[in-house]
Structure 1
């Protein structure tokens, strides 16, 4: 197994993520098979397939990645995940309003991720409380609050009877109205 540290990525600097690549995934002179797939799931990837960049010192292809550091926000570079080789894709560093906009966007993304995490934690906490409350509630329910099953069944049956009566009356009314219309239209012929 080959383990290399992912650097200049917003998530990996906080979590300490490592990219683990089995040795059998490599062939001499080519990029590792699993690197492009791992990058497609990362928010710092520019594309899901490797872009031909300058080769590493080991003659393997490099992968295009985007940096999100304070010094180089949104700046693309080519990187070899095994040896740490990198070179900038562009020659010009972001500056002025572009740099400020990229830093603000990065900070907003971090805030939104934290908000999302806190909301998921809150949902989990509320679900646990609801589960505890649901399991504890039947044991502590007073006898006068219990629902009488026979009363409920009687109300259901009476509602069904009302519906049947109404549908019966409506169908007979429709039948009588149809007969009357037919007789009225046939009146000149009789």
Structure 2
């Protein structure tokens, strides 16, 4: 495995049957699977800090195995990309539906709030009329009472 390969070309697998040699720094190593063009599906031990340590599979895959594994890897990558694109499209569609529902309910709420505001304004006007009527009546009563007292 060349040193130019990056971590995206490998995957970790969990198998307790594989106990490899410790890394040169005496730390435990992790079994991984290579997905590079040179070694597709070949297992190796990896130390996260240092990278490749040693191959688990001593033999390289033969030509037909290599071709099959590379085709499978590429197909999985394409399908993963398509799945991500579909998820993004579904998220976008859900956001549009939610916005549409919000606009539908908001429109009726705005009309409702306008109707409530008009009712409140009408109630304020009616209250003002009643208050003026009360003040006029009170002054009329006061003047009448004053006139009666002056007459007497």
For the criterion TM > 0.5, the same-fold answer is: yes
Given candidates 53, 72, 76, the residue that maps to 2:39 is 72
Higher helix share: 2
Cα distance between partner residues in 2 of 1:123 and 1:48: 36
Which blocks of at least 5 consecutive residues in structure 2 are unaligned?
A: 109-152
Residue aligning to 1:21: none
Closer, same or farther in 2 for the Cα pair 1:130/1:89, shift >3 Å? same
Q: Following TM superposition, by how much is the alpha carbon of 1:83 offset from its aligned partner in structure 2, in angstroms?
A: 2.4
Residue aligning to 1:32: none
Retained in 2: the 8 A contact 1:51–1:62?
no
The CA RMSD measured in Å over matched residues stands at 2.3
Cα distance between partner residues in 2 of 1:115 and 1:136: 31
Is 1:99 the counterpart of 2:98? The answer is no
Cα distance between partner residues in 2 of 1:10 and 1:128: 35
Residue pairs, 1:20-169, within 5 angstroms: 44-47=11-14, 49=16, 51-138=18-105, 139=107
Cα distance between partner residues in 2 of 1:101 and 1:46: 20
Retained in 2: the 8 A contact 1:8–1:68?
no
SS in 1 for 2:84: helix
Closer, same or farther in 2 for the Cα pair 1:123/1:113, shift >3 Å? same
> Where in structure 1 do 4 or more consecutive aligned residues deviate above 6 Å?
none
Count of matched residue positions in the alignment of Structure 1 and Structure 2? 103
- What CA deviation, in whole Å up to 9, does each residue of 1:97-120 have, x standing for no partner? 100110011011101111110111
Larger radius of gyration: 2
Cα distance between partner residues in 1 of 2:54 and 2:15: 19
Closer, same or farther in 2 for the Cα pair 1:103/1:114, shift >3 Å? same
Range that drifts further, 107-116 or 44-53 = 44-53
Retained in 1: the 8 A contact 2:44–2:52?
no
Cα distance between partner residues in 1 of 2:52 and 2:93: 47
